[in-house]
Chain A
């Protein structure tokens, strides 16, 4: 029997954001939101462990009221309980304040064996929130897990890809992992579960529910980083256009590659002049 908490976040469906170079404002097309794709893998990993070992899966999200949608989606996949941390004071949180808020929510849940986060979000894109929560809760963590094997007396067994090495590890429970897209194939939403869970409640906790420490740990006030400005990426100016027949272009490129010593210089003189 394990109690697993999965951190899920609602993100904009498309990252195709452009910036108006004159006004500096963001041009976001549409406002459709989805569950952060990496979190689907985290949720699938949690449900698969529950199916093997028994137990419960709780999902938790910090976000505005409409983030309830991702909790409903998690119910359809197989989560048992959903918590939404929602409060005006949480707005504008950077990764430190987000980690803090989520860790306080998880503390309030009480006995938790395992926390799973996605590797990163598609909007924040930092991969920092998971390790931050682990530190705040004083737990060991492993980031970028690509295989979850099992839970036994030794703890949670996982495989981690470090690029040049593949490591088999176990972590003592309780612990936290973040997962990559390699970890599994998330199940499709079931219509039957959609019907069965449509009246399930979503618990909403505000700042006072999770903290006695006052607002300066949360949202903008609790965020050490400040965004000073946003600007479009600058194209650099140094460039030369080569035009002509394919033959000419090929000759010119070969000569340049030889001049710059990217290929071994032959003994014979270069032919193109003749």
Chain B
């Protein structure tokens, strides 16, 4: 571990000399050199106006794995409430922490995030780090990054996980640059090796291939995880579970971004949240046949999802698209009909609890994913199911 000087940036202004308590910095040839007196206190880092100094926490060879302990996950708030992806990150985080025999830390940044501290501790966190300030009401990347950076510097975690949401995808790369470490996007599978290395698996080339990635020489090992890919954390209270505060000075709360207005959209029922999804594809012959999906979804109290071609034809909204370039879903039940089961579709659907597929082609790839594969004509099967379930419901209503 050492403090490094980026020569591309250093202007030799000497401001860092004035803050170093150990006289470890010297000016030579118009740029700064750091000598053996350095105690790694890092006071010089914020003093540099050019960001030319950085803490090389984990460079080749000369770092100590043991110095990085624990798993940290960055939770998310959604309109003042806890985003459910937080519990999914915690579920995975707890599992990895248990494998390592280390602690799970959760960071929560937002306005009034403090009220969720105890809640988070009910789901297996050893510590929750809270940054709570009015300036943090809406996601603005600089203060959010500052808050997470504070917690990371305190804990020095081995692993740092974020959600692959709009927020996490903005925040993750900035933090990875700050720590000069690797960040693997959209992981679908994570586990740790005995030596603490994180094995990160993600789809590559549009899901046709899976890539296994490691970050062997840098810490923290960072990854983003898609919403609805991991099992949510179970309720458990850890002994010694604690709440920590993240203090942020005014300068750290400042942002170059001003939020002028926010329109909350009517929360449309979303396929990501639904317990039951009825998904349809190009096996439908006409747009009006979408009604079959809506009727079945209504009977099962579910939502309708589609494959990409249906979105392209304008038969459904892009928020209904399941798959690699659409949404990942994890309902208890997914019923697919008229879907071939391309890898790109399956990538977003395969984590569903039960998968039932109806397709007239016995060779369709969707049957490789389905628990129950019905070989037949959707136009015969689905209307019959709808009619049968309607009759049951009518009988039920009588009693």
Contact = CB atoms under 8 A, between A and B. Distances in A.
Interface string A151-166: 0001100000011111
Contact of B372 (A123, A128, A131, A242): A242
A250 B182 contact: no
Interface in B144-190: 145, 166-167, 169-174, 176-178, 180-186
B185 A227 contact: no
Interface residues of B, number: 95
Contacts of B142: 140
Q: What class of interface size applies to chain A in its complex with B?
A: 35 or more
A227 B212 contact: yes
A165 B262 contact: yes
Mostly helix, strand, loop or mixed at chain B's interface?
mixed
A229 B212 contact: yes
A129 to B, nearest CB: 7
A265 interface: yes
A240 B255 CA distance: 55
A126 interface: yes
B245 interface: no
A223 B141 CA distance: 24
Contact of B374 (A139, A163, A225, A249): A249
A167 B138 contact: yes
B12 interface: no
Given A231-B210, A242-B373, A266-B393, A213 B8 contact: yes
Interface stretch (B86-94, B100-108, B305-313, B384-392): B384-392
B372 A95 contact: no
A78 interface: no
Nearest to A263: B389
Contacts of A223: 182
Contacts of B214: 225-226, 228
B354 interface: yes
A142 B209 contact: no
A267 B167 CA distance: 48
Given A212-B8, A253-B374, A260-B354, A166 B210 contact: no
Contact of B183 (A96, A231, A233, A235): A96
A72 B147 CA distance: 43
Interface string A199-225: 000000000000111000000000111
A243 B375 contact: yes
A226 B213 contact: yes
B375 A231 contact: no
A136 to B, nearest CB: 6
A211 to B, nearest CB: 6
B286 interface: no
A166 B258 contact: no
Nearest to B300: A262
B176 A128 contact: yes
B45 interface: no
A17 B209 CA distance: 8
Interface string B343-384: 100110010001010100010000111111111110011001
Contacts of A128: 169, 172-173, 176, 183, 185
B395 interface: yes
Contact of B259 (A169, A240, A244): A169
A97 to B, nearest CB: 10
Nearest to B254: A140
A257 B212 contact: no
B209 A263 contact: no
A262 B332 CA distance: 9
A131 B385 contact: no
Contact of A233 (B141, B203, B362, B395): B203
B212 A224 contact: no
Given A225-B182, A226-B214, A263-B393, A254 B385 contact: yes
B288 interface: no
A99 interface: yes
A273 interface: no
A15 B176 contact: no
A250 B384 contact: yes
A142 B257 CA distance: 8
A224 B180 contact: yes
Nearest to B382: A250
A233 B180 contact: no
Contacts of B389: 254, 257, 263
A49 interface: no
A226 B216 contact: yes
Given A129-B173, A141-B141, A225-B184, A123 B265 contact: no
A165 B264 contact: yes
B256 A171 contact: yes
Contacts of B177: 96, 99, 132, 135-136
A132 B180 CA distance: 10
Interface string B253-295: 0011111111111010000000010000000000000000000
B276 A262 contact: yes
B206 interface: yes
A233 B208 CA distance: 7
A246 B215 contact: no
10 A-B pairs closest in CB distance: A140-B256, A224-B182, A246-B380, A225-B182, A15-B206, A250-B384, A131-B173, A235-B368, A126-B185, A224-B218
26 contacts: A17-B208, A95-B183, A128-B176, A131-B172, A132-B173, A132-B174, A134-B141, A140-B255, A142-B170, A143-B166, A162-B167, A164-B265, A166-B262, A170-B260, A171-B256, A225-B182, A226-B213, A230-B209, A230-B212, A242-B373, A246-B384, A249-B376, A253-B374, A254-B392, A262-B276, A264-B392
Interface of B: 6-8, 51, 78-79, 138-142, 145, 166-167, 169-174, 176-178, 180-186, 199, 203-218, 255-265, 267, 276, 299-300, 332-333, 343, 346-347, 350, 354, 356, 358, 362, 367-377, 380-381, 384-385, 388-389, 392-393, 395-396, 398-399
